Amino acid sequence: MEKKDTWEIPLKFSLVYDDIEELNIIKSSDEFLELIYKGAVAALKQALKKNKSECILYDIVNLEAKIKISKNQYEKLLSNCLAYYEKIEDYSTCQELVELKNKF
Q: What is the largest CA-CA distance in the chain?
A: 43
Establish if 3 belongs to a structural domain.
no
Which DSSP letter does residue 50 get? T
Establish if 85 belongs to a structural domain.
yes
Establish if 79 belongs to a structural domain.
yes
Q: What is the pTM (predicted TM-score) of this model? A: 0.87
**pLDDT digits (tens), the chain, 104 positions:** 444 556 679 999 999 999 999 999 999 999 999 999 999 999 999 999 999 999 999 999 999 999 999 999 999 999 999 999 999 999 999 999 999 988 87
Please, which residues have CB within 8 angstroms of residue 82's CB and are 6 or more apart in sequence?
94, 97, 98, 101
Establish if 4 belongs to a structural domain.
no
Domain tally, the chain:
1
pLDDT in the model for residue 103: 82
Establish if 20 belongs to a structural domain.
yes
Establish if 64 belongs to a structural domain.
yes
Instruction: Tell me which residue range forms the domain holding 24.
Output: 11-102
